[in-house]
């Protein structure tokens, strides 16, 4: 079934799916922390969940402030080049996930959005401090 897809293209698609899952973890994880804090869900105070979440958004913010692309983006692009794919020559998964994840905006917009999001994450640590389980 997948034998017609070059290995680098398949790996690029898998990296893109992983990238989307990490973005979903960061965004929806924070939403769940806030909703869970309001509703009294104890699991949103789990130290490992919160540390993983904080480190993930921290990495994104530092990479952005340094003007660096996410390593997943770089790996995906390298694999697409190795597969002979161009932007217009992508798989269904790559096309649609790429449209959801990547926006053509000035770099400062990403710095501002990621930094503000990180401040919300930090605020939630103060408002709803994690606990050891």
Higher pLDDT residue, 89 or 94?
Answer: 94
Domain for residue 1, yes or no?
no
Share of the chain above pLDDT 70, in %: 86
In terms of Cα–Cα distance, which of 41, 43, 37 is closest to 127?
37
Domain for residue 2, yes or no?
no
Do the Cβ atoms of 30 and 117 come closer than 8 Å?
A: yes
Domain for residue 80, yes or no?
yes
Q: What is the mean pLDDT of the chain?
A: 87
Domain for residue 73, yes or no?
yes
Do the Cβ atoms of 70 and 60 come closer than 8 Å?
A: yes
Residue 57 domain boundaries: 7-127
Average pLDDT value for residue range 77-95: 71
Q: How many domains does the chain have?
A: 1
pTM for the structure as a whole: 0.81
Average pLDDT value for residue range 46-75: 93
């Amino acid at each position: 079934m997948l034998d017609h897809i070059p290995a680098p293209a398949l790996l690029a698609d898998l990296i893109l799916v992983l990238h989307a899952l990490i973005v979903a973890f960061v965004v929806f994880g924070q939403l769940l922390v806030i909703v869970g804090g309001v509703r009294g869900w104890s699991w949103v105070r789990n130290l490992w969940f919160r540390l993983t979440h904080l480190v993930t958004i921290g990495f994104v913010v530092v990479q952005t402030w340094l003007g660096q692309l996410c390593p997943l983006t770089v790996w995906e692009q390298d694999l697409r080049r190795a597969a002979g794919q161009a932007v217009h020559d992508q798989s269904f998964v790559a096309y649609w996930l790429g449209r959801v994840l990547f926006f053509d905006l000035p770099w400062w917009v990403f710095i501002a959005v990621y930094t503000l999001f990180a401040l919300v994450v930090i605020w939630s640590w103060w408002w709803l401090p994690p606990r050891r389980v």
